[in-house]
Amino acid sequence: SRTGNLDAEWPRHQGSAIALGRIAMHAGPAALALHPSFMSHLRGFAAHDHQLVQGSACEAIGRLLQAARKLDAIEPLEPMLIEALPMLADVAGHEAADLRVEGCTVLKQAAKACPAVVRTRLEVVVPPLLTAVKDSNVRVKLSAERTLLHVLELNTRNATLDEFVAKADMASARFVRDYARRVLARLKADSDDEADE
């Protein structure tokens, strides 16, 4: 049956996602030409029905973005990232806490690598993060805070917060502005870089 085949295929898909992320992270400039192909495959894995495949794909996309950023080669990935942001935002709002953390982490990497691209989709990216900062799971909450710091560019571009607030509903606008002032302003932009390596 088709369901049986899907159940049997997920370990292979997860392994492929992990391998693509590792190759992107460690192959250096030799893998640059493959980055768009990697991103295309990983986008598909991020939409997979199995949580472990989704989580591995998000982690691999984060590694790919991190590697491309270090090599100053992010531009070829930007069009695919624009398309992938809604899916990654969905992962950040998933019912499973581990997936919410992975979703937040990959959104943070996207914001670090392509702030202008993420800025075009704030209405999609920010709402699940606002929900996540209220999460009772501390890992989810802290990950969402770090991600919001970068998505809203609080240490580099004040206008991003203002742009989101101008388009958000009144309750979200009030919450995010207050949260940014009370909590996010106290976070250092690079205090989590070791965790990203």
pLDDT in tens, 108-141: 999 999 999 999 999 999 999 999 999 999 999 9
Mean pLDDT, residues 161-185: 94
Q: Which of 149, 146, 141, 136 is nearest to 180 (CA)?
A: 149
Q: How far is 84 from 157, CA to CA, in rounded Å?
A: 23
First and final CA of the chain: distance in angstroms?
A: 41
Structure tokens belonging to residue 37: 């192909």
Helices 138-151 and 122-132, packing angle to 10 deg = 150
The rounded percent of the chain whose pLDDT value lies above 90 is 62
Contact (Cβ atoms closer than 8 angstroms) between residue 105 and residue 147: yes
Segment 80-87 mean pLDDT: 92
pTM of the entire predicted model: 0.88
pLDDT value of residue 3 = 46
Tell me what pLDDT residue 40 has.
87
- pLDDT-derived band at 4 (thresholds 50, 70, 90) equals very low
- Residue 60: phi and psi, rounded to 5, are -70, -40
pLDDT, tens digit (0-9, with 9 covering 90-100), for 10-59: 999 999 999 988 888 887 777 777 888 888 888 889 888 899 999 999 99
Tell me which H or E stretch contains 13.
helix 2-26
pLDDT for residue 30: 73
Q: What is the mean pLDDT of the chain?
A: 88
Q: Identify whether the C-beta of residue 89 lies closer than 8 Å to the C-beta of residue 103.
A: yes
Helices (H), 33-137: 35-46, 51-70, 78-92, 97-113, 115-119, 122-132
What is the C-alpha separation between 116 and 78, in angstroms, rounded?
10
The residue ranking higher by pLDDT, 176 or 47, is: 176
* Residue 28, pLDDT score: 74
Average pLDDT over residues 161-165: 95
Report d(CA 110, CA 37) in Å as an integer. 17
- C-alpha 148/C-alpha 63 separation (Å) is 19
Lowest mean pLDDT segment, chosen from 3-7, 38-42, 84-88: 3-7
State the average pLDDT over residues 91-117. 95
Which pLDDT score is estimated for 102? 95
